[in-house]
Structure 1
Amino acid sequence: MKLKDRNEAGKLLALKLAKYKNAKGIVLAVPRGGVPLGYIVSKALKLPLEIILSKKIGHPIHQEFAIGAATLKSRILSDAAREVSSAYIDKETIRIRQLLQKRYREYYGGAQANPTQG
């Protein structure tokens, strides 16, 4: 099925998820492309929208090769990270978290995100 755009995708997804309207829950969206779609779904279902902020930790020599990922509160590393210094990984994690904090402020302003678990 080919869709016209993200708006159409959001509307179709909201229809499929209609049984969750006003349910206890949240809609999670991944920037950048997932946020407009998530917004449409959250409005249709009358659920809060939360944004998952994460970024790849690239290999020091080949940045396009992921050795892990970082969020505002956690980090996960692949086996490939074993060959990379912990100093580099720590420095990259700090840099990425600073970038994610900036994005968080852009998305949420002064508002706090809803606590999520699971």
Structure 2
Amino acid sequence: MAKDQSLSLNPTKISGICGRLFCCLKYEHDVYVEAIEKVPPVGSIVKVDGIKGKIIETNPLLEQAKVEFNDKTIRICMKEEIKVLQAPKKCDGCGKGKDLDIDMATLKELKKLED
């Protein structure tokens, strides 16, 4: 849930005064998941005003994406301005994601919140 909301996965940064992970993460999760579906994902090759670029960052709640164009200029665009030419490649199972900077206790705590 924290990852979906682009928050730190460090439990000390997403914990409330009580020491538990923010309850609002679970409450807001469905809204974020729905918003994420409306904006093309990072890595998508897109066209904006006839110019080709790549999405480097998204803001799902504002339905915006930051696009870097071939000339290295960067612009924040609304989803309506963006035409997706190519979606980013899916994971090919290389195993690189297994070296996450997160300990097992944190992972278990986050998983418990999802349930």
TM-score after normalising by structure 1: 0.30
Higher RCO, 1 or 2 (CA under 8 Å, sep at least 6)? 2
Q: Which structure's residues are more often strand, by fraction?
A: 2
Q: Which structure's residues are more often helix, by fraction?
A: 1
TM-score after normalising by structure 2: 0.30
